[in-house]
C-alpha cells in the first residue's frame, strides 16, 4: 500500500511538471535589433519586385554577454489573427526572399530568437516590442541628417555611417557587410542594442561584426541601391 | 514506305535537309528511318548542315508573362529569321512549367540551353521539347560552412564529346548570424555520368548580373574581381581543358561607377556594353577585337539616348535587341539608328534572348515537356 501511494505521489509530481509552462534555461542579457537593407539582400537572394528601398526588420535577437543564444525551448509560433496587427508587421517586417513568405519568416524568427526572451515577452508582446523599437529608429532619416543617402560609397562610408548613428543614439551600434562586385563591401545590416526593458544600450564591443572590415586595397564600402535605378534622371 | 526504292545514302541526304519538326514525324514513319534519324552522327550532321544553318537560325526569347503574379511558368518564344517582318505573326511558343521569374538562360550549345536561377539548374532543348532537371550537388562541405552559387556555366567539350555544367560557389561561415567568407569552390557536372565533381582551381570572387554569363569560343565567361590589379575582369573557363584565365576589362570600368554592364557577342567578338538605365539611356560599346587580349578592348561607339531601357539582350545581324522598363521587347537598328517596338512583353527584368539554331540532340536522361 505504501508503494502504491509513493507511485501515485510521483505520478502526480510528473503530471504537474509536465503541465507547467516551458522552463527557460537561458537568461538573456540584452536585445539586438537587426535591420536589413533590401537592395543588398536582394543582390544575394532572389526577391520579388519591386525591391523595398528602406531598412526593414530582420529580427530582434535576445542575447547573452557570454554565449550566443538561439533556438531556446519555448512555445511554437502561432499565426496572428488580428488583421491590423498583421498589416503593421507586413509593412515593417516583410519577407524579402522569393522562396519564402511572411508567415514562414516570422515563425522562423520566433522559434530561433523570440523563444529566448519568452519568459518576459510572449509572442505578441515580442513582435510588438520589435515594431516599437523599429519605429523609434528610422535609419534613413538618421543617415540623411549626416548627408548620407542610398547609393553612397567610398573609403570613409562605414565610419561616417557609424558616427552618424552614434551621434543620434549615443550608443555603439554594429554593422554587417557582404562582399560586393569588384572587391567592394556592401552594407547589409545595422544592429542596435537594448536592455530587456527596451532602453538603448551599447552593443558589446567584443561581439561586434568583422564582416565590414574590408581586406581589399581600395576599401570601398557601398550603400548600394538596386540596379537599375528606374526613373532616376542621370545626367551624362 | 517507298524508301526501298532509294539507296540509304540518298534518303539520308534528303532527310538532312528537313526541319526538326518534319524529322520528328519522319521518325515514326518506318523503322529504317527511325534508326537513321536517331543516330548521333545523323543529329550532328543535321545540326551542322547548310540547310539547317540557313533556315533555322533564329532568336529564342525567354520571359515570364506579365499577367502571372506570382510567376509560375516561363515562356520560350522563337522569332523567325526576319525580325523586320510581320510583328503580328505570333512566334512559336513553348510553355515551361515550374520555372520562375529569375531564370537565367545560357548557351545555347547544339540546340540545348541551360536555364537556372542559381538554385536549380535545368537543361532544355526546345526544338524537341526535351528537358532535364540536374541533380543537386551533394558535397559534404566542412562542418559549419554554407554554399551560395555565384555563377553557372554550360558548354560542350569537343574533345570528350560531352556536355558540362559549371557551378562556381562561395563557401562561407554563418557565425552566430555573422557572415565570414571562406573560399570559392568550382564544381562540374558531366551529363554523361549525371554527376558532379569538384575541381581544384584558384578563382576570384564572381558576381552575377543578367547577361554576365556568356558562352563563346569554347569558353564560358563570368564577371569577376581582378584580384591582382584591382578592378574588374572576365573570368574565362575553357570547357575542354577546364583551365581558368582572367581577361581584364577596360580601365573605364571602375565599379561602382553608376553604370551597368552587359556581355554580349557582336560580329564574332565579345562585346561589352556600359549603360545607365534611366529616362535617357546611353550604351557605350566596346569590342574585344582579339579574344583573350585585354589590350584589344576598343571602344566602338555610343548608342543612344534611348528612352527607359532596362537592359540590352542580344546583337542580331544589324540590330540590338533590348528590354524596356515596362518589359517590352524592342530593337535598335545599328545602321538606321531607328528603334522598333515589338508586341512582346514580359514581367520586368524577366526577358532573355539568345541566337538559336534548332537541333535534334536529346538530353541524356531528359524527358518530354508536357
Which of B148, B255, B279 has the CB atom closest to A182's CB atom?
B255
Reply yes or no on whether the pLDDT at A235 is more than 80: no
- Residues in contact with A96: Cβ distance below 8 Å, sequence separation at least 6, in sequence order: A36, A38, A41, A42, A45, A47, A52, A56
CA-nearest residue to A34 within chain B is B177
Residue B3 has pLDDT above 60, yes or no: no
pLDDT recorded at residue B98? 61
Report how far apart the first and last C-alpha atoms of chain B are (Å, whole number): 30
pLDDT at B89 > cutoff 80: no
Is-contact B310 B42, C-beta < 8 A? no
DSSP 8-class letter at B76: E
Judge whether residue B235 has pLDDT over 50: yes
Give yes or no for A176 touching B (CB within 8 A). yes
ipTM strictly over 0.95? no
Cis peptide bond upstream of B187, omega within 30: no
Window from A205-219, B135-149, B209-223, B276-290 with minimum mean pLDDT: A205-219
Pure H helices in A53-113: 83-92, 102-112
The pLDDT score that the predictor gives to residue B61 is 93
The mean pLDDT value of chain A amounts to 84
Cβ distance A46 to B310 less than 8 Å, yes or no, reads no
Q: Of the residues A78, A113, A118, A224, which is catalytic?
A: A113
Give how far Cα A167 sits from Cα of A150, A200, A209, B6, Å. 19, 13, 20, 90
**Topology (CATH level 3) of domain A24-218:** Ribonuclease Rh; Chain A (3.90.730)
Tell me if B231 and A182 make a contact (CB, 8 A cut-off): yes
* pLDDT on residue B96: 77
Shortest alpha-carbon distance between residue B211 and chain A (Å): 14
Measure CA of the first residue to CA of the last residue in chain A; give whole Å.
96
> Which of A2-16, A61-75, A132-146, B145-159 has the weakest average pLDDT?
A2-16
Superfamily of segment(s) B47-357: Kelch-type beta propeller (2.120.10.80)
CA angle B216, B287, B109 (to 5 degrees): 15
Q: Is the model's pLDDT at B262 over the cut of 90? A: yes
A189 is catalytic: no
- From chain B, which residues contact A within 8 Å (Cβ)? 70, 100-102, 117-119, 148, 176-181, 205, 207, 209, 223, 225-227, 230-232, 254-256, 258, 260, 276-280, 282, 305, 310-311, 325, 347-349
Q: What are phi and psi of A20, to 5 degrees?
A: -70, 155
Q: Do B209 and A227 touch (CB under 8 A)?
A: yes
B47 three-class SS: helix
In this predicted structure, the answer to whether residue A120 has a pLDDT above a threshold of 60 is yes
How far apart are the C-alpha atoms of B61 and B263, rounded to whole Å?
17
Q: Are B177 and A61 a contacting pair, CB within 8 Å? A: yes
Q: CB distance A228–B227 less than 8 Å?
A: no
Q: Does A169 contact chain B (CB < 8 Å)?
A: no
Calpha distance B367→B124 (Å, rounded): 9
Looking at residue B83, what is its pLDDT?
A: 53
Give the range among B34-38, B39-43, B197-201, B366-370 with minimum mean pLDDT: B366-370
A78 counts as catalytic:
no
Residue A147: which region, alpha, beta or left (left: phi > 0; alpha: psi -120 to 50)? left
Q: Residue A165 and residue A174: Cα distance in Å, rounded?
A: 10
CB spacing of A233 vs B176 below 8 angstroms? no
**What three-state secondary structure class fits A116?**
helix
What integer is the mean pLDDT of A190-215? 89
Mean pLDDT of B65-90: 67
The per-residue pLDDT for B100 is 65
For the four alpha carbons of A12, A15, A19 and A21, in that order, the dihedral sign comes to positive
User: Is residue B186 pLDDT above 80, yes or no?
Assistant: yes
8 Å CB contact of A228 and B207: no
Residue-level pLDDT at A28 = 92
Amino acid at each position: 500500500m505504501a508503494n502504491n501511494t509513493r507511485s501515485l505521489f510521483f505520478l502526480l509530481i510528473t503530471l504537474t511538471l509536465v503541465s507547467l509552462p516551458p522552463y527557460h534555461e537561458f537568461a538573456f542579457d540584452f536585445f539586438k535589433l537587426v535591420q536589413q537593407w533590401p537592395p543588398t539582400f536582394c543582390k544575394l537572394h532572389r526577391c520579388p519586385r519591386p525591391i523595398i528601398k528602406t531598412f526593414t526588420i530582420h529580427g530582434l535577437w535576445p542575447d547573452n554577454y557570454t554565449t550566443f543564444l538561439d533556438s531556446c525551448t519555448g512555445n511554437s509560433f502561432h499565426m496572428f489573427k488580428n488583421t491590423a496587427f498583421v498589416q503593421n508587421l507586413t509593412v515593417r517586417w516583410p519577407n524579402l526572399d522569393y522562396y519564402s513568405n511572411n508567415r514562414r519568416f516570422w515563425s522562423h524568427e520566433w522559434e530561433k530568437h523570440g523563444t529566448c526572451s519568452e519568459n518576459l515577452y510572449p509572442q505578441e508582446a515580442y513582435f510588438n516590442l520589435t515594431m516599437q523599437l523599429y519605429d523609434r529608429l528610422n535609419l534613413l532619416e538618421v543617415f540623411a541628417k549626416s548627408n548620407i543617402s542610398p547609393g553612397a560609397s567610398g573609403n570613409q562610408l562605414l565610419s561616417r555611417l557609424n558616427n552618424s548613428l552614434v551621434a543620434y543614439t549615443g550608443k555603439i551600434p554594429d554593422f554587417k557587410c557582404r562582399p560586393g562586385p569588384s572587391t567592394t563591401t556592401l552594407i547589409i545590416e545595422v544592429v542596435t542594442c537594448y536592455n530587456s526593458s527596451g532602453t538603448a544600450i551599447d552593443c558589446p564591443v567584443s561581439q561586434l561584426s568583422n564582416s565590414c572590415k574590408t581586406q581589399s586595397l581600395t576599401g570601398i564600402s557601398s550603400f548600394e541601391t538596386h540596379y537599375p535605378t528606374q526613373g532616376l534622371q542621370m545626367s551624362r | 514506305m517507298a524508301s526501298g526504292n532509294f539507296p540509304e545514302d540518298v534518303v539520308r541526304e534528303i532527310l538532312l535537309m528537313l526541319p526538326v519538326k518534319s524529322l520528328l514525324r519522319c521518325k515514326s514513319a518506318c523503322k529504317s528511318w527511325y534508326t537513321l534519324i536517331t543516330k548521333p552522327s545523323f543529329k550532328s550532321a543535321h545540326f551542322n548542315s547548310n540547310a539547317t544553318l540557313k533556315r533555322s537560325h533564329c532568336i529564342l526569347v525567354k520571359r515570364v508573362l506579365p499577367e502571372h503574379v506570382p510567376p509560375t511558368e516561363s515562356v520560350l518564344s522563337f522569332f523567325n529569321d526576319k525580325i523586320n517582318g510581320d510583328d503580328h505573326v505570333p512566334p512559336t511558343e513553348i510553355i515551361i512549367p515550374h520555372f520562375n521569374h529569375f531564370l537565367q538562360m545560357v548557351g545555347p550549345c547544339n540546340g540545348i540551353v541551360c536555364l537556372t536561377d542559381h538554385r536549380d539548374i535545368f537543361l532544355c532543348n526546345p526544338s524537341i521539347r526535351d528537358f532535364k532537371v540536374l541533380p543537386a550537388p551533394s558535397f559534404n562541405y566542412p562542418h559549419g560552412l554554407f554554399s551560395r552559387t555565384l555563377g553557372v556555366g554550360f558548354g560542350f567539350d569537343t574533345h570528350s564529346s560531352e556536355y558540362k555544367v559549371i557551378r562556381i560557389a562561395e563557401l562561407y561561415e554563418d557565425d552566430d548570424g555573422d557572415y565570414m567568407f571562406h573560399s570559392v569552390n568550382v564544381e562540374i557536372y558531366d551529363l554523361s555520368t549525371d554527376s558532379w565533381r569538384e575541381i581544384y582551381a584558384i578563382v576570384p570572387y564572381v558576381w552575377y548580373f543578367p547577361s554576365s554569363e556568356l558562352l563563346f569560343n569554347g569558353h564560358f565567361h563570368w564577371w569577376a574581381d581582378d584580384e591582382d590589379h584591382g578592378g574588374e575582369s572576365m573570368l574565362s573557363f575553357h570547357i575542354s581543358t577546364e583551365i581558368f584565365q582572367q581577361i581584364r576589362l577596360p580601365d573605364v570600368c571602375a565599379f561602382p561607377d553608376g553604370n551597368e554592364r552587359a556581355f554580349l557577342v557582336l560580329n564574332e567578338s565579345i562585346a561589352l556594353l556600359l549603360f545607365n538605365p534611366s529616362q535617357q539611356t546611353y550604351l557605350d560599346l566596346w569590342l574585344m577585337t582579339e579574344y583573350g587580349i585585354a589590350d584589344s578592348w576598343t571602344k566602338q561607339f555610343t548608342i543612344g539616348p534611348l528612352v527607359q531601357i532596362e537592359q540590352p539582350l542580344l546583337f542580331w545581324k544589324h540590330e540590338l535587341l533590348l528590354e524596356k522598363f515596362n518589359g517590352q521587347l524592342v530593337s535598335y537598328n545599328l545602321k538606321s539608328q531607328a528603334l522598333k517596338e515589338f508586341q512582346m512583353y514580359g514581367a520586368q527584368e524577366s526577358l532573355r534572348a539568345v541566337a538559336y539554331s534548332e537541333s535534334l540532340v536529346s538530353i541524356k536522361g531528359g524527358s518530354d515537356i508536357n
